[in-house]
Amino acid sequence: MKTIRKQNIFIALLVLVSMSVGVTFQSCEEYPHEYEISSGVPDVNYIRMTDPDKSDSLIVSAAVNATISLIGDNLTSITEMWFNDKEAYLNTSFMTANSLIVTIPNEIPGVVSDKIYMVAGKDTVTYDFQVVVPPPAPNSMLCEFVSDGEEAVIKGSYFIDDPNVPLEVIFPGELSGEVVSVSSNFDEIVVKVPAGAGVGQLTVKSIYGSSRSSFYFRDDRNYILDWDNLDAAGGWRSGNIANSTPTGIKDNYVRFEGDMTEGAWNEDAFSFNLWNASNGRTDEPFYDGDLNSAYLKFEVNILEDWKSAALQMIFTPYEVSGTNGYIGDDSVPRGLWIPWASSGSYSTDGWTTVAIPMSEFHYTASGADAGANVTTEMLGGLTFFVWNGGVQGEDCRVHMCIDNIRIVPM
């Protein structure tokens, strides 16, 4: 560690970006109660994690967005702190003369010096410390079903396209896709799907490592309905089946279409009932894994601005058939999808994958808490119905196409 003049630090650095402001702290015995400004030059003896279970381990590196504790002397004399060329937010409530708790900026360094710069008056002290950028984290796709040669959108974080080590997306079958673009904040990739891509997990590789997606590309697991091999025949309403305008993901899908007025009940236009007992299926539940770690997923294409009512998703036990009484029964928990609620309207640009945690299936028809969650024993039937939801909307025309309903692990 050495003392240098402040004006000499950043000559080689790029133009600085705006201050990072979000900080998350964990309990630590070194949290101070009072703040007194030190007059001496800061001196760092060592750095450790704030997690009590890891506090005995001294560290020389940590990941972006990690919270660390600096131990030393005269630390309240610090008025600025930089990790490489990114400035950290200093909270005086977490500073004493001998300890300082700070969160590393959650930004990718533009210039890597592997140093912390601590500004105190006219002096700046440096401390050797490496900020580790995690490997790419592919979290989801805009649509999990994209044809060969078409552009797919992958969402996540740390998608670093280094000119010396270009970003790679490997599709099932060990086939590399052509990366078309990467967003400026490294959280989205547009990639062209290679010919012959199969079904399964994607791998994204960067200069900082590689990671495999938890989601499946062209997911074929555990379908409940796809309207090609699995339909809702036997219900009072098996759904209005279509395969054109728009083009489907793979042949047939169900279409909800018609004028929606506030409070309208129109099962013919906006619903289907899958009752397993009437459909010729066994009494095996749709899914027997941990529902707290599973999604209900489906693909949707919404062609007109949707502005009213919720898509209600209601699971029913195997023995339930020949009735629609459960739709209005507030003791029956269900999921509600209302993507228009925050903006006033919602439509999609083509097919989009929707993922709703099964833990969110605990609502009444009007959006209140039903007091219970869906259980495995209830996974013997499924109804979708655009109705109610408890959110005030406006009259609109609904044109919603749905395909590939499935429950899959997170």
Burial of 245 (0-12, 13-18, 19+ CB in 10 A): exposed
> What's the pLDDT score for residue 1?
42
Question: How many residues are listed for the chain in this entry?
Answer: 410
Is residue 309 over pLDDT 60? yes
Tokens describing residue 248: 């489907």
Range from 104-113, 167-176, 299-308, 325-334 carrying the lowest mean pLDDT: 104-113
pLDDT at 19: 33
* pTM (two decimals): 0.83
Question: Region 155-166: what's the mean pLDDT?
Answer: 95
Q: Region 149-174: what's the mean pLDDT?
A: 97
Res 33: pLDDT: 44
Enter the tokens of residue 267.
């099962």
* Mean pLDDT confidence for 282-286: 97
Listed residue (370, 367, 369, 371) closest to 391, CA to CA: 367
Q: Using 50, 70 and 90 to split pLDDT, how confident is the model at 55?
A: low
Q: Is the pLDDT of residue 25 over 50?
A: no
Distances (CA, A) of 159 to 187, 204, 319: 6, 8, 48
Task: Domain 2-132: give its CATH architecture.
Answer: Sandwich (2.60)
Q: How far is CA 76 from the centre of its chain?
A: 38
Instruction: At 209, list the tokens.
Output: 């490592």
pLDDT-derived band at 18 (thresholds 50, 70, 90) equals very low
What is the band of 13 on the pLDDT scale with cuts at 50, 70, 90?
A: very low
DSSP line for 226-288: -SSS---TTSS---EEE-TTTTPSSS-EEEEEEEE-TT---HHHHEEEEEHHHHT--S--S--
Distance CA 295, CA 314 (A): 14
Q: How far apart are CA 97 and CA 79, in angstroms?
A: 13
Q: Is the pLDDT of residue 256 over 50?
A: yes
Query: Which tens digit of pLDDT belongs to each residue from 86-108?
Result: 999 999 999 999 999 999 999 99
Judged on CB neighbours under 10 Å (0-12, 13-18, 19+), 129 is: buried
3-state SS, residue 200: strand
Q: Does domain 223-409 sit in CATH 3.40.50.11540? A: no
When pLDDT is averaged across residues 63-74 and rounded to a whole number, the result is 96
Three-state DSSP at 10 gives coil
Rounded Cα distance, 260 and 389, in Å: 13
CB of 397 within 8 A of CB of 304?
yes
User: Greater confidence, 368 or 3?
Assistant: 368
Residues 323, 276: Cα–Cα separation, whole Å: 13
Looking at every residue in the chain, the average pLDDT score rounds to 91
pLDDT tens digits for 242-253?
999 999 999 999
Task: Look at residue 379 and tell me whether its pLDDT is greater than 60.
Answer: yes
Helix (H, G, I), strand (E, B) or coil at 92: helix
Q: CATH topology of 2-132 equal to that of 223-409?
A: no
Binning pLDDT at 50, 70 and 90, where does residue 52 land?
Answer: confident
- In degrees, to the nearest 5, what angle opens at C-alpha 165 toward C-alphas 188 and 104? 60
Asked whether the predicted pLDDT for residue 26 surpasses 80, the reply is no
Q: What phi and psi values does residue 273 have, to the nearest 5 degrees?
A: -125, 115
Q: Which of 182, 135, 117, 134 is nearest to 154 (CA)?
A: 182
Instruction: With CA atoms as reference, report the closest residue to 340 among 409, 393, 275.
Output: 393
Class of domain 137-212: mainly beta
Residue 262, pLDDT > 90, answer no
In the beta sheet, which residues pair with residue 47? 70
* Domain spans of the chain, in order of start: 2-132, 137-212, 223-409
173-231 pLDDT tens trace: 999 999 999 999 999 999 999 999 999 999 999 999 999 999 999 999 999 999 999 99
Q: Which residue has the tokens 């900082």?
A: 208
Whether residue 246 has a cis bond before it, omega within 30° of 0: yes
The rounded percent of the chain whose pLDDT value lies above 90 is 87
SS3 of 11, please? coil
Identify the pLDDT of residue 38: 67
> What would the two tokens of residue 364 be?
């009444």
Write down the pLDDT at residue 311.
98
Of 179, 141, 175, which is closest to residue 160 (Cα–Cα)?
A: 179
pLDDT in tens, 127-157: 999 999 999 999 999 999 999 999 999 999 9
